[in-house]
A = this chain, B = another copy of it.
Amino acid sequence: MKRVFHFIGTAAEGNAGMKNELGGKGANLAEMARIGIPVPPGFTITAQTCLEFYENDKKMPAGLMDEVFKNLEMVERELGLKLGDAKKPLLVSVRSGARVSMPGMMDTVLNLGLNDETVKGLAEMSGNERFAWDCYRRFIQMFGDVVLNVRPSKEEEDPFEIIIDRKKKEKGITDDTEFAVEDMKELVVEFKKLVKEKTGRDFPTDPKVQLEDAIKAVFDSWNNERAIKYRQINGIPDDWGTAVNVQAMVYGNMGDDSATGVAFTRDPATGEKKFFGEYLTNAQGEDVVAGIRTPQPINKASKTDPSQISLEEAFPEVYNELVDVYQTLEKHYRDMQDMEFTIQKKRLFLLQTRTGKRTGFASVRIAYEMVQEGLITKDEAIKRIDPYGLTQFLAPIFDANDIKKAKSEDRFLAKGLNASPGAATGQVVFFADDAGKYPKSVLVRIETSPEDIGGMNIAQGILTARGGMTSHAAVVARGMGKPCVAGCGELDISYKDRQMKVKGKTIKEGDFISIDGTTGEIYDGQIVVKPSEVVQVFVEKTLKADSAPNAKMFSEILEWADGVRKLGVRTNADTPRDSSVARAFGAEGIGLCRTEHMFFGGDRISAVREMIVSDSVEQRKKALAKLLPMQRSDFEGIFEVMNGLPVIIRLLDPPLHEFLPHTDKEIEELAKDMGIDAGKLKAKVASLKELNPMMGHRGCRLGISYPEITEMQARAIFEAACNVKKKGIDVIPEVMVPLVGHVKEYVNQRGIIEAAAKEIIDREKVELKYMIGTMIEVPRAALTADEIAKEAEFFSFGTNDLTQMTCGFSRDDAGKFLVGYVEKKIYKKDPFASLDQEGVGKLMKIAVDLGKKANAKLEVGICGEHGGDPDSVKFCHRIGMDYVSCSPYRVPLARLAAAQAVLQEK
């Protein structure tokens, strides 16, 4: 079995397809060599050799070092240098490199090959004695740590650093850079003494021994504690092993004709097709990262200050060579590349190339433009785009310069959770009812509740002190496409004083603040906000697509996605406005229309409360009769907007106490308004109180206790449908029964709905197709999905509640421990944000399989928050669902994710 693959000049034995053998770094080094990119010569020992090493009881496999030295000789020949040669010493780096990047987890040794002889050769070759000795003392320190285990225990200080500190004191200096050559030489002596003391042996002077020991050490580091932990957390198999890259050292710090830098073939922030990067003269790779000196821009075009000296100006020839290189690489890899390069005495070397990380927005633009350039196919583009990148096209944005200004004026206040993207600026109000007081307001609450919906709708944005990514505020804001920063614990809000304290400042009602739901940042005062291009074009229709390149890109990409995806995409919308926004973003129907959100308006809440406090069925029916025309007109509005697309309407879901006030004062006021006894109303409120309302008297349980509620809602739906149909607009109402756990609950409710439908359709003499179905949100419903599917025409997974009940987490309370759970990697992600596929998902799969087997015509969708999460959308595709439904602003994301799901299957 071949264990070593060299890359020397353009003669490379490996290639980019050999990541499993050579690791990511090794495979790309070989590939670059192969296509003529200048890389320092070297070779890669396969990851399989690492496994052999372990199987062989951590001994080097027989013959390995022979193979290593044979390849080493080829490198020496190529460079005219020799490992251990006193005049022309070859130095090498020994680096780990697994199949996937495990940054910082495993070990590296640089400058290997130095000893008291070769250091002199290096000094001569480089013409820089100090450089050579600095390399030497660094090598001993690094090799001592990594290979010889001369490292501090937890409580100790690094013994090498102790020596350095002592030396600094002796010399009266504070910085390493102030050491003279002689100091370096003394350090080398002391370091070697330290190694002898700690290990009982002399520091190895034979570079071949150094090399063998270093390779062993890298193999060993595959199973160090932190690497094992990292693999566990990230699900990387232990039996992959790591490759080892041995490569000739090159130096960017050999003088002013040397340099080092990083570059991206396109702008990773914006996706713009421009060469982008930075470099430092006379420096090593670490210096760029460490940020001690300010790097310079790579070319004239990206200079922001005339005093900067770009690589293009300082090293014009090398720059041109680098441009060739980057163009070659991008074309070759057909994706944006992130490169590390070193210039040693005006000679360019590439040390690494890999697919560059980018923002979501950039992922969209790069993929789109690469299709235009003919570099990739549309399918490839779809695969590469971060679905969240598309949502960034929808959010209003702060003017970047104004943000800079605010920061410089110390107006940055705090950072919370970026719960719903977009920028909002306005006057602070602490009560939903006050949202209309100012032309533009930002609603600030400790947390929000359903009563606040009206105010949330009016406000520019929402800021809360408590609650996570799936708190009421976050969910509703995302649904509205409204900026929201949630759970900002630094806010000290006093409702009484109508003010909040943060960062030592007191902000009162009426003061301006600005919140950025994309970043979670909060600023004092106003910052200029503008709606996104896409919203201007498709929703506000104030801009033409022709003059809006972002909007054009956005809609074209979604068209490509639509050509691929199999999942339908619907929306969760409760109003004609939401429905119309969702249609603008491509929704193919409404997957969830929550009727209870319609119950909070002025007249309505009164009628609802009257219904709740009723003593008899008759009284209740009377109150419901008041609600009926209002509900009917709500539905008419939505049906008209949806114009022939299916609309799923969910019957009343929340427990009744959500509609009643809870403080004594509020109750007394309400009693007065209603003309009833305050004591009686208090008793009613108390009787409706529940210990665990999430699992209490709600959903279809209400409709079973009070069939007249279901009947009223069914009548409103079918009367509305008939009225709209009579106007010549097609309507497909689908009535959904919530919180079903037992098929008999569903059958009970279906009976009421069917009776109302039949009566009204007969009376109105209208041809109307409709469906009746159920939420699947109680685990029992999923487990008995076969029984339910025999009676229901559709299922819609309510994965918010299904997650709560399957995992036994109350969404309202889990904040206390769920953050810790995700930190401890008990769950990979917050299961309310992204489906817990192994647990909740398993139950969903059971339900889909049972349901479709029992009823081949069954339509299955999802209407929980997860319908707008890309991983969850893909999961829904994989388990054979028919559609997902999500908030209007997530519709584009879902369309793309659904297409990705298809492509990932291939």
Q: Residues of A with Cβ closer than 8 Å to B?
A: 690-697, 701, 704-705, 739, 741-742, 744-745, 748, 777-780, 783-784, 787, 801, 804-810, 812-814, 816-817, 820-821, 824-827, 836, 838-840, 842-843
User: What CA separation (Å) do A801 and B271 show in the bound complex?
Assistant: 51
Q: How far is the CA of A576 from the CA of B229 in the complex (A)?
A: 43
12 example contacts (A-B, Cβ-Cβ < 8 A) are as follows A691-B813, A692-B812, A695-B808, A696-B810, A705-B820, A741-B808, A742-B807, A748-B824, A779-B805, A779-B807, A783-B806, A787-B838
Given contacts A808-B695, A808-B739, contact A839 B780 (CB under 8 A): yes
Chain B contacts of A807 at CB under 8 A? 741-742, 778-780
Least CB distance from A837 to B in Å reads 11
A438-B778 Cα distance, complex, nearest whole Å: 48
Contact yes or no, A816 B742, CB < 8 A:
no
Taking a contact as CB atoms under 8 Å apart, the answer to whether A810 and B779 are in contact is no
Most buried by B among A692, A804, A817, A824: A692
CB neighbours (8 Å) of A804 from chain B are 695
A707 vs chain B, min Cβ distance (A): 11
- Within the complex, the shortest CB–CB distance from A484 to chain B, in Å, comes to 20
A810: B residues at CB distance < 8 A = 690-696
Interchain nearest-CB distance for A261 vs B (Å): 42
Whether A695 and B694, one on each chain, are in contact in the complex, defined by CB atoms closer than 8 angstroms, is yes
Copies of this chain, complex-wide, total 2
> When the two chains form the complex, which single residue of B690, B692, B820, B839 contacts A704, counting CB atoms closer than 8 Å?
B820
- Inter-chain contacts of A821 with B (CB < 8 A): 704
In the assembly, what is the distance between CA of A96 and CA of B42, in Å?
Answer: 97
Q: How far is the CA of A41 from the CA of B691 in the complex (A)?
A: 64
Given A705-B820, A784-B838, A824-B748: A808 in contact with B801 (beta carbons within 8 A)? yes
Question: Who on chain B is nearest to A739 by CB?
Answer: B808
Cα distance A839–B813 when bound, in Å? 27
Q: Which of B697, B814, B840 contacts A817 (CB 8 A)?
A: B697
Bound form: Cα–Cα A905–B665 in Å:
63
- B-side contacts of A806, CB under 8 Å: 778-780, 783, 805
Q: Say how far A790's CB is from chain B's closest CB, in angstroms.
A: 14
Complex CA–CA separation, A701 to B813 (angstroms): 12
Q: A840: nearest residue on chain B (CB-CB)?
A: B780
Most chain B CB within a 10 A radius of its CB, from A784, A816, A824, A836: A816
Q: Bound state CA distance, A544 and B451, in angstroms? A: 69
Contacts A701-B817, A742-B827, A748-B826; A691 near B839 (Cβ below 8 A): no
Residues on the B chain within 8 Å of A816, using CB:
696-697, 705
Given A705-B817, A813-B691, A813-B696, does the pair A744, B826 have CB atoms closer than 8 Å? yes
Contact in complex: A826, B745 (CB < 8 Å): yes
Nearest CB in chain B: distance from A741 CB, A: 5
Q: Across the interface, which residues of B come within 8 angstroms of A808, CB to CB?
A: 695, 739, 741, 777-780, 801, 805
A849 → chain B, closest Cβ, in Å? Answer: 13
With both chains docked as a complex, state the minimum distance between the C-beta of A200 and any C-beta of chain B, in angstroms: 31
Within the complex, which residue of B692, B820, B826, B827 is in contact with A692, where a contact is CB–CB below 8 Å?
A: B692
Q: How far is the CA of A620 from the CA of B804 in the complex (A)?
A: 30
Knowing that A690-B813, A695-B808 are A-B contacts, what are 5 other residue pairs whose CB atoms are under 8 Å apart, sorted by A's residue number? Answer: A697-B816, A777-B808, A780-B836, A801-B808, A805-B808
Chain B residues near A839 (CB, 8 Å)? 741-742, 780, 783-784
Contacts of A827 in B (CB 8 A): 742
Q: Could you tell me if B742 and A704 are in contact, using CB atoms closer than 8 angstroms?
A: no
- Bound-state CA distance A736–B701 (Å) is 35
Which of A739, A808, A817, A838: most chain B CB closer than 10 A? A808
| Chain B residue contacts of A843, Cβ below 8 A | 779, 783
A838 contacts which chain B residues (CB < 8 A)?
784, 787
Q: Of B695, B744, B813, which one neighbours A697 at CB under 8 angstroms?
A: B813
Given A705-B820, A813-B690, do A842 and B784 touch, yes or no (CB 8 Å)? yes
The answer, among B697, B779, B801, B813, for a CB contact under 8 Å with A693, is B813
The answer to whether B695 touches A744 (Cβ under 8 A) is no
Q: A705-B817, A744-B825, A801-B808 are in contact. Are A694 and B691 (CB under 8 A)?
A: yes
CA distance A810 to B694 in the complex (A): 8
Closest CB-CB distance, A246 to chain B, in whole Å? 38
Pick the contact of A824: B690, B704, B836, B842 (CB < 8 A): B704
Q: List, in ascending order, chain B residues with CB within 8 A of A696's CB.
A: 810, 813-814, 816
Whether A809 pairs with B695 at a CB distance below 8 angstroms is: yes
Give bound CA distance, A744 to B820, whole Å. Answer: 13
Output the least CB separation between A420 and chain B (Å).
22
Minimum C-beta distance from A811 to chain B (A): 8
Inter-chain contacts of A826 with B (CB < 8 A): 704, 742, 744-745, 748
Cβ distance A819 to chain B, nearest Cβ, rounded Å: 11
**Which of B691, B748, B805, B814 meets A812, CB within 8 Å?**
B691
CA distance A739 to B705 in the complex (A): 32
State how many angstroms separate the Cβ of A372 from the closest Cβ of chain B.
45
A748 cross-chain contacts in B, Cβ below 8 A: 824, 826
Cα(A704)–Cα(B783), bound, Å: 30
* Nearest Cβ on chain B to A111's Cβ, whole angstroms: 41
CA distance A806 to B777 in the complex (A): 10
Q: Which residue of B lies closest to A705 (CB)?
A: B817
Q: Which residues of B contact A744 (CB under 8 A)?
A: 824-826
- Chain B residues within 8 Å of A777, by CB: 808
Query: Within 8 Å CB of A817, what residues of B?
Result: 697, 701, 704-705
Residues in B whose Cβ lies below 8 Å from that of A745: 826
A840 to B805, CA, bound (A): 13
Contact B805–A692 (Cβ < 8 Å): no
Closest Cβ–Cβ distance, residue A23 to chain B (whole Å): 28
Residue ID in chain B nearest A692 by CB atoms: B810
Point out the residues of chain B lying under 8 angstroms from A836, CB to CB.
Answer: 780
Q: What are the 4 closest A-B residue pairs judged by CB atoms, nearest first? A: A692-B810, A695-B810, A780-B839, A696-B813
CB distance from A746 to the nearest CB of B (A): 10
Give the distance in Å from the alpha carbon of A842 to the alpha carbon of B807 in the complex.
Answer: 17
Q: A778 contacts which chain B residues (CB < 8 A)?
A: 806-808
List of B residues within 8 angstroms of A787 by Cβ: 838
B-side contacts of A820, CB under 8 Å: 704-705
